[in-house]
Structure 1
Amino acid sequence: MVQAYRFALDPNATQEHALRSHCGAARAAYNWAVGWVTASWWQRRAEESYGIGEAGLTQWRPWSLPALRKAFNEAKHTDPRFAAWWEENSKEAYSTGLANASAAFDNYAKSKNGKRRGKRMGAPRFKSKRKARLACRFTTGVIHVDAGGRHVTLPRLGTIRTHEPTVKLLARVQAGTARILSATVRHERGRWFVSFQAEVKRDLEPVARPDVAVGIDLGVKTLAVMADSTGEIRTIANPGHHDRARKQLRRASRVVSRRQGPDRRTGQKPSKRWEKANAARNKVHHRVANLRADALHKLTTAVAAEYGTVVVEDLNVAGMLRNRRLARRIADAGFGEIRRQLTYKTRQRHATRTIAADRWYPSSKTCSGCGAVKAKLPLHVRTYQCDACGLVIDRDDNAALNLAALAAAATTGTGVAGDQDTQSVSKPRGVDQKTRATRPRRKAEAGRAGGATLPHQRQTEARDRTQAEALTLW
């Protein structure tokens, strides 16, 4: 299997300058490739406006990686943007930018032709020197972990000391059970990191309870409620790392606001005191991010090592983040990261399975005892009371039990905790994906009769007009 090993670096001033130079070279090569390819697009558009036929138009420039490398190698000797300094960096830095540009154009073409899932992507744009993430990938040359376990060697960068021991990867390399494929350096959270992509030979780790399935209901007040197929329910409290640090962040931000910061409009440079205060504020942000990542990794590792089947929800996290009242807490919980980690840890480490419940599956509205489905269940109602069998249970516990039942429903049941022996159906208890109207019927009829438009109708009409204009422009 292919596995990544990431280590923090402690470069000196000279090495940090070289790292930034390589990452800047990757960004410059990316911008060159974007400009070189799109120049033919604009040229063809101008020629078409002059009435030139298809046969006389400028040829399309290819964006495959071999074509970009060939064109860049011809241009770097004469282009004033590269001629004076391109020899200072490894060729892998420029190859990184060209490979990223090629992938960006491929994704854009597939998205435009309907061959790529997800949000529609636009044409690649230039990367800003101020906002671009510093990263560079090495695939050839001297790439290895030193025998002492405290240094790594990279092409043109030489030997760099690591902040933490590299014995995990070094032991496997020396034993012959790992082979390093590539290395990526990245500046993240105020530090430099190196990630080794290695081909590792490792045995699958057996789970503690292979015949038990667990359903995980994620939330804000409680991070996760886990209910397994045996009926055991466990609750994982939400650490709330960002909420704990808000007071410290407010204080640090107040100090930054009282210093002389940068101003791009007037060209004003930040003062030394502003840079020092901004670094102190960023340190708090980085600590919160590190604590969150550590907690999520510990949670997902423990779950993947215990259960044979894990059932999670297919949450619309991007849509949930649009709620301005809950966005901060949802982002702090890391719903999407939990599902991502569970997916690869169960598949690669233990060869178990992860099931994603359908986004429209009513896990909270369905009774885990008899399977009855409520028409409505507002978010503020935290206790589920079944009108059919009289079951009274916590809302999150009920949802977790129904999610755990989906593991058995894949072959025998309906996805209801108390009804796992019936024939499987695609829509339990006749539930569909339609949302019932919540506005009173009299107001709707009055609006239609009087010819007036309601607020939600005006929003719908404005949205339709915007989409029509966008399609016309496209």
Structure 2
Amino acid sequence: MVRVHQAYRYALDPTPAQAAALASHCGAARFAFNWGLARVRAALSQREAEKTYGVPEELLTEVPWSLYGLRRAWNTAKDQVAPWWADNSKEAYSSGLDGLARALTNWSASRQGTRAGKRVGFPRFRAKHRAALSCRFTTGAIRLETDRRHVTLPRLGTIRTAESTRKPARAVADTAMAEVRRQLTYKSAWRGGRLVVADRWYPSSKRCSGCGAVKAKLALSERTYSCAACGLVLDRDANAARNLAALAAGYEHDVAQSCGETVNARGGAVGPGARAGHAPAKREPLIRGTLPRQRGGSPILTDTH
């Protein structure tokens, strides 16, 4: 039996107070990382000194190397080294210690030659103004709300989410369209949606979504669509989106479902403006849109199930 894990990523849109709390949690994770690293370095130095004194191996100072050992050491010392620790979720400190445990493991495996890839150096302290702000939550009250527009995190409460638009063009350019199509196919099936594949020559941008007239030319610099036939004036992308939505609504059969393709725009005319008597070009289709029944968000937070 193959088990499939779905992951959702969301960009958070916190209030000023929530942003400050998030920054505090990220700072707490960095503090725990640096504290643990200092503890490990001190223990390693102590062990080296003890070896010169002839102390037996079984009596050498223990080094808190694993996440379990680091957590145990932190819980013992946190009241003295961080009396303010209760201001943040315990997940913040665990996140920092987990990052340190992973870094130590990678260094050890790289040193022993059991880790593939470039050689990994010993962990370094994380500087406040240079280290990336990050914190991971793995337990506690973590959930995506039913409106799919808010997430709830321990100690932080319910935070609004926002769509992520970081460099979308580059992301598409770096991804083969066959892979994009593959993912859209199975994800549409997961959500019970329908994937419609438009022919690459379908004039979604050049066609007027009001009357169906098709422009002969439309420069990429023209961001507003103006129809000379009916007078419609509309944002270029909004006009194209309406045309694609109309194309999808006109289909009688599902396309690119998990059972395989049945009908797509390459099988015949796609609506007003199609050239009569001409067979569709034998080219790979261009994925132009998907119409899932539920809308998903966009991510920084990852929730798996």
What TM-score results when the alignment is normalised by the length of structure 2? 0.54
Q: Is 1:73 aligned with 2:72?
A: no
Taking a change above 3 Å as real, the CA distance of residues 137 and 298 of structure 1, as seen in their structure-2 partners, is same
* SS across alignment from 2:75: helix
CA apart distance, 1:299: 2.6
Residue 397 (structure 1) aligns with: none
Q: Is 1:53 aligned with 2:54?
A: yes
Separation in structure 2 between the aligned mates of residue 160 and residue 18 of structure 1, nearest angstrom: 11
CA apart distance, 1:15: 0.3
1:253-268 alignment to 2 at 5 Å? none
Deviation per CA, 1:194-240: give whole Å up to 9, x if none: xxxxxxxxxxxxxxxxxxxxxxxxxxxxxxxxxxxxxxxxxxxxxxx
CA apart distance, 1:43: 2.3
CA apart distance, 1:108: 1.1
1:346-361 alignment to 2 at 5 Å? none
Deviation per CA, 1:408-463: give whole Å up to 9, x if none: xxxxxxxxxxxxxxxxxxxxxxxxxxxxxxxxxxxxxxxxxxxxxxxxxxxxxxxx
Note if contact 1:40-1:58 (Cα within 8 Å) is conserved in structure 2. Answer: no
* SS across alignment from 1:137: coil
Note if contact 2:12-2:161 (Cα within 8 Å) is conserved in structure 1. Answer: yes
Note if contact 1:144-1:152 (Cα within 8 Å) is conserved in structure 2. Answer: yes
* SS across alignment from 2:158: strand
Paired AA for residue 296 in structure 1 = D
Note if contact 2:64-2:73 (Cα within 8 Å) is conserved in structure 1. Answer: no
Structure 2 unpaired stretches of 5+: 185-257, 259-305
Residue 137 (structure 1) aligns with: 136
Separation in structure 2 between the aligned mates of residue 300 and residue 98 of structure 1, nearest angstrom: 40
Decide which structure has greater strand share.
Answer: 1
Residue 174 (structure 2) aligns with: 296
Q: Is 1:39 aligned with 2:42?
A: yes
Separation in structure 2 between the aligned mates of residue 118 and residue 3 of structure 1, nearest angstrom: 28
Separation in structure 2 between the aligned mates of residue 120 and residue 160 of structure 1, nearest angstrom: 39
* SS across alignment from 2:118: coil
1:47-126 alignment to 2 at 5 Å? 47=50, 51-55=52-56, 58-79=60-81, 82-83=82-83, 85-126=84-125
CA apart distance, 1:46: 4.1
Residue 25 (structure 1) aligns with: 28
CA apart distance, 1:58: 4.1
Separation in structure 2 between the aligned mates of residue 12 and residue 142 of structure 1, nearest angstrom: 19
Residue 14 (structure 2) aligns with: 11
Note if contact 2:67-2:98 (Cα within 8 Å) is conserved in structure 1. Answer: yes
Separation in structure 2 between the aligned mates of residue 111 and residue 128 of structure 1, nearest angstrom: 24
* SS across alignment from 1:152: strand
Paired AA for residue 22 in structure 1 = H
Residue 270 (structure 1) aligns with: none
* Greater CA drift, 120-129 or 292-301: 292-301
CA apart distance, 1:95: 0.6
Aligned length: 182
Taking a change above 3 Å as real, the CA distance of residues 118 and 156 of structure 1, as seen in their structure-2 partners, is same
Note if contact 1:44-1:58 (Cα within 8 Å) is conserved in structure 2. Answer: yes
Separation in structure 1 between the aligned mates of residue 154 and residue 148 of structure 2, nearest angstrom: 18
Decide which structure has greater helix share.
Answer: 1
Note if contact 2:46-2:61 (Cα within 8 Å) is conserved in structure 1. Answer: no
Residue 297 (structure 2) aligns with: none
What TM-score results when the alignment is normalised by the length of structure 1? 0.36
Taking a change above 3 Å as real, the CA distance of residues 302 and 67 of structure 1, as seen in their structure-2 partners, is closer
CA apart distance, 1:143: 1.1
Matched-pair identity in % = 50
Q: Which has the higher contact order (CA 8 A, sep 6+)?
A: 2
- C-alpha RMSD of matched pairs (Å): 2.6
Paired AA for residue 136 in structure 1 = C
Note if contact 1:152-1:162 (Cα within 8 Å) is conserved in structure 2. Answer: yes
* SS across alignment from 1:147: coil
